[in-house]
Amino acid sequence: MEKKERPLILVTNDDGITAKGIRTLVEIAKELGDVVVVAPDKPQSAMGHAITINNTLYVKEFKQHPHSHKEYTTSGTPVDCVKMARHEILGRKPDLCVSGINHGSNSAINVIYSGTMSAAMEAGIEGIPAIGFSLCDYSHDADFSQSRDYVKQIMEQVIERGMPKGVIFNVNIPKANKKDIKGVKVCRQAHAYWVEEFDKRTNPYGKDYYWLTGRFVNDDKGEDTDEWALAHQYISIVPTQFDLTAHHYISELNTWDFDS
């Protein structure tokens, strides 16, 4: 009987290659396939889909921890990491890209700003099945072990079943003990947002600077959203896409007169 080839799994993140979340994700991925890690050399949170175009981009092999697989760091963004992996490092398209596990939520509007999800989106643009994982705990020493079995199960399902072209999974995990997690819910993105303020301060040299602050507001009362699922101790999966077209509005917009 012919031995089945192990899938090639690209692992990346936005918290940097030494973050606890990516270390957990790497260990899970190694159980399912051959792993290559390409991640930022420093934290790159909230970088969105930024890429490096006006600066030099460096890549080097990462050997800080002993491991049998290959790991690389880049001086760029999470999206840069996926681009470099695909076109310079791997030599072929990976069978799966997983990004995270992020330290902090990427539910609702946060998906727009997230470096974790933008890395997954870039993989999706390249035609690679991709998942972004986030834990709703911003602590540097967050406990990722509680969700380990669920993360592995979701990855296994994607490897086995595949994903439609252009669809990326946004997976958020509540901060909870394993016994308190009720399961997984497939959701839509909640209509929730940040009410932002800038805290104006003055440095010791008398120069003004600003610190972004704010509060998160969820006005969405639906019980089919990622915010509802997380609040009720479920892991949320939102199938997302990079096509930003408002398809429902095209017919209405075609009634406008642009030629007069």
Tens-digit pLDDT profile for residues 130-155 = 999 999 999 888 999 988 999 999 99
Tens-digit pLDDT profile for residues 12-42 = 999 999 999 999 999 999 999 999 999 999 9
What is the widest separation between alpha-carbon atoms in the chain? Answer: 74
Q: Across residues 36-51, what is the average pLDDT?
A: 92
Q: CATH number of 8-189+222-245: 3.40.1210.10, 3.30.930.10, 3.40.50.300, 3.40.50.720?
A: 3.40.1210.10
Parse the chain into domains and list their residue ranges.
8-189+222-245
Q: Dihedral sign, CA of 187, 193, 199, 203?
A: positive
pTM equals 0.93
Structure tokens at 98: 């997983």
**Can you give the pLDDT at residue 1?**
45
Percentage of the chain beyond pLDDT 90 is 85
